[in-house]
Amino acid sequence: MRKKVTVVGAGHVGATLAQRIAEAELADVVLVDVVDGVPQGKGLDLLEAGPVLGYDSRITGSNGYDETAGSDIIVITAGLARKPGMSRDDLLAANGDIVKKVAQETGRRSPHAIMIVVTNPMDVMAFVAMKASGFKREKVVGMGGVLDSARFRAFIALELGVSVENTHAFVLGGHGDSMVPLPRYSTVAGIPITELMSADRISRLVERTRNGGAEIVALLKTGSAYYAPSAATLEMVEAMLLDKKKILPCSTWLEGEYGVKGAFAGVPVKLGTAGVLQVVEIKLRADEQAAFMKSVDAVRAGCEKFM
Ligand code: NAD
């Protein structure tokens, strides 16, 4: 039997993710949205692309949740996206109510699923989803670090004129303005970029990575990025559906790791069919730990409203 992935929010990120899942033939997809006709229309359109592209994944759309029952993975992209001048935190109240309802509705119909939270501000929304669903920490994970690392990798590859496939990058902390890119753990063909570029060049790339989302919002003017976000989410979906045990930077509920008790933050985790299999702890320098804690504090402040 094919796996089943529910994607709530059939907007830019959600619909593109559904397309990527179908094209990779990873699972059947149920698209859910509040707007009448949109998930049904996009679902049908994607289904009709199958014969041309050669995939048998079934994509269906709905305005309700009954069709989502028995999902292996639930991806939450429902909510508002940023407009120019808005920070991710400006989305807090509206998206909190939406994510709470989505997590309750999907969680009770798919009690064994893993929830991937994409809606911003993502780390806070992951907390809202975990609380509303009652799911264990292994089963709720936020997408942010994979995207931020992909952006860092793209900029490193451009700067050095090398293949993106040679790059590896780690970005930790909350998926917000205080995220913590870690240059000494970011490599090209295994060589730390600190050996390949001056500190000035690296800090330019780090800054661009931090502003990566805002750079695209400023260009698009009516919404935020979705090609790279959906690709990043696909990597997480694939790692879990195929039980790859892949280590990726994701937002997870920390219970003492990295000196943090009781908060979602981006750290390297091992992903498999059961969700977050392990939090991988790496040694941080004092300045990196301080930047990480600052970023965790920003997430905690956002969570207060939902305690
Ligand atoms: P979008 O506006 O294109 O799509 C959002 C969809 O959610 C819309 O179709 C809307 O109708 C739907 N929706 C709203 N309320 C709903 C509800 N109660 N139930 C079901 N669906 C509902 O936005 P987008 O570009 O797809 O972005 C979606 C979210 O993902 C935003 O919050 C955005 O900030 C976030 N995002 C996060 C990351 C990340 O790295 N974590 C990256 C990109 C976008």
Structural domain that includes position 77: 3-143
Dist. CA 95 → ligand 1 center (Å): 9
Dist. CA 125 → ligand 1 center (Å): 12
Residues in the chain: 307
Active site residue 175: yes
Catalytic residue among 12, 112, 168, 175: 175
Going by alpha carbons, the residue nearest to atom 5 of ligand 1 is 11
Residues 173 and 282 in one domain: yes
Cβ partners under 8 Å of residue 105, min gap 6: 65, 68
Helix (H) or strand (E) holding 269: strand 261-272
CB 6 within 8 A of CB 68: yes
Q: What is the pLDDT of residue 1?
A: 84
Pocket of ligand 1 (CB under 6 A): 8-14, 32-35, 77-82, 91, 95, 98, 101-102, 118-120, 122, 143-144, 147, 175, 223-226, 229
Dist. CA 82 → ligand 1 center (Å): 9
pLDDT in tens, the chain (307 residues): 899 999 999 999 999 999 999 999 999 999 999 999 999 999 999 999 999 999 999 999 999 999 999 999 999 999 987 778 878 778 898 999 999 999 999 999 999 999 999 999 999 999 999 999 999 999 999 999 999 999 999 999 999 999 999 999 989 998 888 899 999 999 999 999 999 999 999 999 999 999 999 999 999 999 999 999 999 999 999 999 999 999 999 999 999 999 999 999 999 999 999 999 999 999 999 999 999 999 999 999 999 888 8
Residues 203 and 223 in one domain: yes
Residues 40 and 127 in one domain: yes
Ligand 1 pocket: which of 20, 76, 77 to mutate (most atoms within 8 A of CB) = 77
> Of 109, 143, 177, at which residue does a domain stop?
143
Domain CATH code at residue 95: 3.40.50.720
Cα separation, 124 vs 169, whole angstroms? 24
CB 238 within 8 A of CB 203: no
Q: What single-letter amino acid sits at 211?
A: N
Residues 54 and 186 in one domain: no
> Of 110, 126, 143, at which residue does a domain stop?
143
Q: What is the pLDDT of residue 305?
A: 85
Domain CATH code at residue 244: 3.90.110.10
Residues 79 and 166 in one domain: no
CB 44 within 8 A of CB 255: no
Cα separation, 178 vs 38, whole angstroms? 35
Cα separation, 86 vs 66, whole angstroms? 34
Q: What is the pLDDT of residue 155?
A: 98
Atom of ligand 1 nearest to the CA of 232: 40
Q: Going by DSSP bridges, is the β-strand pair 167-168/140-142 parallel, antiparallel, or unpaired?
A: unpaired
Cα separation, 275 vs 114, whole angstroms? 6
Going by alpha carbons, the residue nearest to atom 8 of ligand 1 is 11
> Of 92, 119, 143, at which residue does a domain stop?
143
Residues 291 and 224 in one domain: yes
Residues 170 and 125 in one domain: no
The interaxial angle of helices 122-133 and 286-303, nearest 10 deg, is 60
Residues 19 and 115 in one domain: yes
CB 173 within 8 A of CB 266: yes
CB 88 within 8 A of CB 301: no
Q: Going by DSSP bridges, is the β-strand pair 28-32/4-8 parallel, antiparallel, or unpaired?
A: parallel
Per the structure block, which two tokens stand in for 243?
Answer: 């039980």
Going by alpha carbons, the residue nearest to atom 14 of ligand 1 is 79
Dist. CA 233 → ligand 1 center (Å): 13
What is the tally of structural domains in the chain?
2
Ligand 1 pocket: which of 8, 17, 33 to mutate (most atoms within 8 A of CB) = 33
Nearest by Cα to 186 from 153, 233, 214, 151:
153
CB 106 within 8 A of CB 115: yes
Per the structure block, which two tokens stand in for 39?
Answer: 């998930």
Q: What single-letter amino acid sits at 195?
A: E
Handedness of CA 274, 147, 253, 206 (dihedral sign): positive
Residues 111 and 209 in one domain: no
Residue whose entry in the numeric block shows the structure tokens 């989305």: 91
pTM of the model: 0.97
Residues 110 and 194 in one domain: no
Residues 125 and 163 in one domain: no
Dist. CA 192 → ligand 1 center (Å): 35
Residues 276 and 293 in one domain: yes
Q: What is the pLDDT of residue 178?
A: 87
